[in-house]
Every structure is written in structure tokens, then in C-alpha cells.
Amino acid sequence: MKKLALFLAFILLFGLFCGCARRGGKDSVTLNVLNWGDYIDEDLLKQFEAETGIYVNYTTMATNEEMLVKLQQPDCIYDICFPSDYIIEKLVADDLLYALNKDNIPNMQHIDGRFLDLSFDPGNEYSVPYMWGTVGILYNTTLVDDPVDSWDILWNEKYSGQILMYDSIRDTMGVALLKLGHSINTREQSDILDAEAALIEQKPLVLAYLGDPIKDRMIAGGGALAIVYSGDAMWCIDENPDLAYAVPATGTNLWFDNIIIPKTSQHTAEAEAFINFLCNPEVAAQNAEYIGYSTPNSAALEIMGEDYIDNPTYNPSQELLDKCDIFHDLGNFINVYNDSWNRVKSFVG
């Protein structure tokens, strides 16, 4: 009897783990996709499933670092992922990415040449650009009467308790480094300490350090100034016309989110079909219009029309882009950033 009970207990537990069986029968493949929240038009997933018979199991996460931890697991289950530039550099260095077979991704020809062959993945051996943009200041024109043309405005005491900062190490440390005129990829300890001091000085003025909820707070009029990605700015301005987006002319962080296939993937051909699908101009246009982020797909941008092409938030001038920097992986030096960030976050005046 005891043995039977023990046996039943194990069966129950076993069933728990097997409960997540794949949909659609034995032969169909399921792709595990890990993406940022609100970062794909989910109707397109259904369209992809209908067109190819490949199922998509869609999951989301909130930060690049969280994604990195998941991709570093030896038993990583994901087939498609959308990390940013500096994470790709790290993933390539750690040999965690699958080298793409470009013959399976003919739609890559639609990607603007400006966004190919970038420093984090020369020759696009492992990644295809998905979305790109800048980091800038979203402000509420009814609450801010100074010109928003420099990072210093985020340190202006007039806006005390109305400033929202990003709860993300590289982005927020990056803004402080830009304000001080340092490189956002600096490996000088003294630069980092300067940035830390600036952020601690700013902390009493900060309403909160948030992730995605920044968008809701700004739309609801809960803050005067916020650090946001350009794509989020597009979306917020759409929801609340009092908002505006500005990038200081001195330059900012230019970022790319890219589609990759982890080396552990068992379904690389299907994953490549998924990438090819997302690079289809019609699909990319629908997706970019839904998300509001800038697409690197020039054929898609044509379809989207002048409203997008002439919008400086969506499609910033080459002159500005030339002044911008892409994040690089900092190797072990990131620990210096982490320690400084911990001191900023735990500081109470």
C-alpha cells in the first residue's frame, strides 16, 4: 500500500511536468519565442501559425539582463529571442548563438544597409535587426516650460518629484554619463563614480525608477519628464498629445533589438522561417505600426508612408545618428556599473 501511494505521488508529480505538452499533435513543431512585453503584433503570430503550421509559444520578459540569464542556462528552451546590441556581443563572445543560414532568410534583402554589418555582429552572422531607436526625454508640454535640449533638465530642481528614470543599469547610468560628457561605454572607474555621484545628487528629485510603467504614468500626466526609448515615446504621444520627445543634439544612445536563435535550439530551420516571416515588408510594416518602434526594414517603411518617414522621433536625421553611440558589452567591468547602481538604488538621503 505504501509503495502504491509513493508510486501515485511520483505519477502525479511527473504529470505536473508533462502537463505542458505541445499543441497541435505529434508532428508539428512549436517554437518557443522569448520577447519583450508589447513587442510584437500578436495577430501576426496567428498568421504565421496559419501559413506554416508551426506553432508559437510566446513568452515575455522585462530587461535585457533577465533575457541574458535565461539564454545562459544550459537547458535554455528558447528558439527565438530579441536581445539588444550589447547583449548580442556578450552572447557571441560566449558562443551561445546559432550562425544563421541566410539562404533561409531571403527577406533580409529588405533591411536598410545602414543597419547591417554593425559593430556588435559584423556581417550579421548571428542576428537580424528587428527594431531600432534612440534614448531620449519624453516631457509633458503643459508642465515643462524650459526648452528640453540637454540632459541637464533632468537635474533641474524645478521639476522635483516629477522626473521618472528608467529602472535599468545601462540606460540610466548611460544618461548620467552623457550628461557629464563621458562615453556610455566608458571603462574608466572615475567616470562611473562621477555618474554615480550625479545620480545620487538627482535622486531626491526623482519620482520613481520604473520600467514599462513609465509609459502609463506619463500618459496619465503623472510625471513631467521621463527617460524613454523613442518607440515608447511614439506610443505615448499617440495616447496623450500633450507629450513630446526630444533628444539632446549632443547625441545619445542608439540601440538595436535583434532577432537571434540560441545555439541550443532544436528547430533552427523553423526559427529561420519565423525570422524570414518577420522581415516580409507587409508583415514588418504591420508589426512596426502596431508596436510604434522604428523598423530597419526600408521596404516596410515605404509601405508605412510619409507620416512615419518624416517624423523625427520615428526616423531621426542621419546627422543626429552620427553623434550617437551603440552600447558595447563591457565584460567583467559591468560589475563596476552594478556596484555603483546598487549604491544609487539603496541611497536614501
Partner 1 sequence: MKRTVFAYPYIVWMLIFILAPMLLIVWYAFSKGGSFTLGNLITAFSDPVYMRVLLRSVWIALKATAICLLLGYPIAYLLSAMKKSTASLLYVLFIVPMWMNFLLRTYAWQVLLDKSGILNTLLAFLHLPAQNMLYTESAIMLGTVYNFLPFMILPIYTVLIKLDASLVEAAHDLGANGIITFFKVILPQSIPGIISGITMVFIPAITTFAISRLLGGGKFMLYGDLIENQFITLGKDAWPVGSALSFILLVLVLASMAVMRQAERNAGEEGGILW
Cβ within 8 Å of residue 66, ≥6 positions away: none
**308 touches 63 (CB < 8 A):** no
Distance CA 64, CA 87 (A): 7
Q: Does residue 338 bind partner 1 (CB under 8 A)?
A: yes
Alpha carbon distance 134, 258 (integer Å): 15
Query: Per CB under 8 A, does 220 bind partner 1?
Result: yes
Q: Is 251 exposed, middle or buried (0-12, 13-18, 19+ CB in 10 A)?
A: middle
88 contacts partner 1 (rule: CB under 8 A):
no
Q: Quick one: which of 315, 321, 327 has its CA closest to 288? A: 315
Q: Which triple of cell numbers denotes residue 159?
A: 521639476
Closest CA to 334 of 169, 89, 95, 135: 169
328 lies in the site for partner 1, by CB under 8 A = no
The distance of closest approach from Cβ of residue 151 to partner 1 in the complex, given in angstroms and rounded to an integer, is 20
Q: Which is nearer to partner 1, 199 or 291 (CB)?
A: 199
Our CB check for partner 1 shows the closer of 69 and 269 to be 69
Does residue number 101 form part of the binding site for partner 1 (CB under 8 A)?
A: no
Helix then strand then coil, in percent of the chain rounded to 5, is: 50, 20, 35
CB 13 within 8 A of CB 20: no
Cα 184 from chain centroid (whole Å): 17
72 binds partner 1, rule: CB under 8 A: yes
Residue 263 or 267: which CB sits closer to partner 1?
Answer: 263
Stretch that binds partner 1, among 60-68, 103-111, 118-126, 233-241 (CB under 8 A): 60-68
List 29, 45, 198, 210, residue binding partner 1 (CB under 8 A): 210
Binding of partner 1 at residue 208 (CB under 8 A)?
A: yes
Task: Based on the shown chain and the rule CB under 8 A, indicate whether residue 14 belongs to the binding site for partner 1.
Answer: no
For partner 1, the binding residues in 106-145 under the rule CB under 8 A are none
Residue 218 CB, shortest distance to partner 1, in Å, is 11
Site membership for partner 1, residue 44 (CB under 8 A):
no
Q: Does 193 bind partner 1 (CB under 8 A)?
A: no
Cβ atoms of 304 and 282 within 8 Å: the answer is: no
Looking at residue 270, its amino acid is E
Pick from 68, 88, 148, 301: which binds partner 1 (CB under 8 A)?
A: 68
- Of residues 158 through 187, those in contact with partner 1 by CB under 8 A are 161, 167, 169
**How many Å apart are CA 59 and CA 36, to the nearest integer?**
8
Binding site for partner 1 (CB under 8 A): 1-2, 5-6, 8-10, 12-13, 63, 65-66, 68-69, 72, 161, 167, 169, 203, 206-210, 217, 220-222, 335, 338-339, 342-343, 345-346, 348
